[in-house]
Structure 1
Amino acid sequence: MSIKTTVITGATSGIGKETALALAKKDHTLYLLVRNTIKGDELKQEIITKTGNKNVHIVKCDLSDLQSVREAAAELNNGKLFAINVLINNAGGMFDKKELSKDGFEMTFVTNHLGHFLLTTSILPLLEKGHARIINLSSEAHKMGKANFDDLQWEQRPYSAIKAYGAAKLFNLYFTKTLAEKYADKGISSFAVHPGIVRTGFGTGTSGLSKFLLWIATPFMISPEEGAKTSVFLATEPGMEAKSSQYFVKCKMTKSSVLAWSEANRNMLWDISKKLVGKSAVAGEDTRKKS
């Protein structure tokens, strides 16, 4: 089996860490995009010790900081990599109170969607060369999400952590389907994943209703290792390209919400995202109108 090159965001803990460990055992060459490079280096050593796989590389990337994302993409594009076979957009977060990123974006939106949009579209040539599988971590919370494109920054409404998170997870599904549509002829496939309700540090620091709902869910939570299984499955199972654009739960294709299939919303999100990251055109994008 040929060695695969895999890029994973948010790999220093929880699902991302277990995904990295599992793929290292399968001899994937790993590029781990992390906010904290000290933790990243510690994880690298842990992966090498546990798996014997020394092909682990740490790249600094804060998905809430678009300049950091651009620098990470530039490092991946610097010529050392010939191709990327798997991209796992794993990082995410829920923020109890409204926070703005360095660039002035609402944190839930930029961390869960916009940062990954910029990263993915910035490394498209490498993804095309690798006939890549792009795996976006969404959530069943997308079924609570609504696409309010007139108020992405929550300036006109009282901020709700749960609603902001649900919207971001809905956007993950829109992004998945648009990637599948635009780049199928380039050999790229994309998938959305609900990892389950996983026992991690996710949601730490939340309060009010968000904290209560997490507490209610505690008895039903699964381990990070269990939560990583669907991402690992989609990264490694042969023949999954035929199921590109689909939503997976427990390694099985599952129905998403009806709203997640809105072509108008998908197109609007893509166009808005391009404008927000300052890209007049996305590399390799097919702008031809479909008949």
Structure 2
Amino acid sequence: MKLAITGPTSGIGAVTFHQLTPICKEVFFLARNKDKAQEEITKLPAHEQSKVRFIYTDFADLDSVNKAALEIQEMTGHLDILINNAGGIFQEKVSTKDGFELTLSANHLGHFLLTNKLMPILLKARNPKVINVSSEAHKAAKVNFEDLNYTHNTYSAFTAYANVKLFNILFTKSLVEKFGKNGLRSYALHPGVVKTNFGNEAGGIFKLFWWMAKPFMIDAQEGAKTSIFLAKSQLPESQNGFYFKNSRPGSPSKTALSKAMREKLWTKSEALLEKYL
């Protein structure tokens, strides 16, 4: 099995990486911090470390995402699993070098671009999968497709995050519609409320909520279980495109199931990424 995973330097991404590497023939480790990547890679037994290829990827820089996809394509003829795990919530509005609001770029546009660029080698695998880490926060989404970059409206860290977690589910279902007939399996998941450094970038009421909820949070080992389950399992065709919680099909919001919303998101994403696709 050949695996590519984004955001594997900490939290559930690191746990997922460590749990899946022993059953993989090759692992593409997509991250922006080479020192942190090396730290995680060297935690593996020596005979496992040679399987791992560090690929510099910064989802706030879409040129680097393009380059990462090309590097992977040059290294392998097929890819069995892509886990889109990277993401974050950001207290202040930040615009990337490409002109996109950072939450949108880091959680959705970067993975939309990466997945589409890797699709040719995914579809050459026997049972290709794309796994997108979403969140129950998607149920609080308030999407304005005319102002995804918060050019006109006041930026809200939590709403921006809720929106992109909704996009993760919509994207998952679109992938099945577009590539399921070619054998692609795609799943979205809620990892649980995990006690990691994730909430450190948040502010306001969300940071207060995060601090108050910490005693009730699960650890990264527990939070990674659904990602690992989806990577390892052969699920029935009837569950293709599903949203999972606790390694079982969950119930996303009605908006997450909207065909009109996912079609609008795909069209909008393609338009924003026109120069890269």
When the two structures are superposed, what TM-score results if normalisation uses the length of structure 1?
0.91
Does 2:205 correspond to 1:209? yes
Give 2:230's aligned residue.
Answer: 234
Output one character per residue of 1:98-145: Cα deviation in whole Å (capped at 9) or x when no partner.
Answer: 111111100111100000000000111111011311000000000001
Which of 99, 112, 125 is 1:117 aligned to? 112
Which digits, 9 at most, give the CA deviation of each residue in 1:40-74, with x for residues without a partner?
1221111235x845311110000111001001011
Residue 29 of structure 1: how far off its partner (Å):
2.1
Deviation at residue 276 of structure 1 after TM alignment:
1.0
SS at match of 1:199: coil
* Residue-pair matches, total: 276
Q: What secondary structure sits across from 2:218 in the alignment?
A: coil
Structure 1 position 257 matched with structure 2 position 256: no
Q: Check the 8 A contact 1:198/1:222 in 2, yes or no.
A: yes
Q: Secondary structure at the match of 1:87?
A: strand
CA contact (8 A) 1:96 1:210 kept: no
From 102, 107, 113, the equivalent of 1:107 is 102
**Which of 23, 26, 33 is the equivalent residue of 2:23?**
26
What is the identity, as a one-letter code, of the residue corresponding to 1:232?
A: I
Cα contact 2:6–2:83 (8 A) shared by 1: yes
Equivalent in the alignment of 2:61:
65
Is residue 2:85 matched to residue 1:90?
Answer: yes
**Secondary structure class of the residue paired with 1:178:** helix
Deviation at 1:150, TM superposition (A): 0.9
Equivalent residue number for residue 267 of structure 1: 263
> Which structure 2 segments of 5+ residues have no match?
none
Contact between 2:69 and 2:117, CA under 8 Å: does it hold in 1?
yes
Does the alignment pair 1:183 with 2:183? no
Match of 2:221 in 1: 225
> Pick from 40, 43, 47: which aligns with 1:46?
43
Give, as a single letter, the amino acid of the residue that structure 1 aligns with 2:231.
Answer: A
Give me the CA root mean square deviation: 1.5
Deviation at 1:39, TM superposition (A): 1.4
Q: Secondary structure at the match of 1:47?
A: coil
Could you tell me the percent identity over the aligned residues?
A: 43
1:287 paired residue number: none
Residue pairs, 1:4-23, within 5 angstroms: 4-23=1-20
Q: Which runs of 5+ in 1 are unaligned?
A: 283-291
2:141 corresponds in structure 1 to 145
**Who is 1:288 aligned against?**
none
Query: 1:265 Cα deviation (Å)?
Result: 1.1
CA distance in 2, matches of 1:268, 1:196: 28
State the partner residue of 2:166: 170
Equivalent in the alignment of 2:132: 136
Counterpart CA distance in 2 for 1:134 and 1:89 is 7
Whether contact under 8 Å (1:27, 1:53) holds in the other structure is no
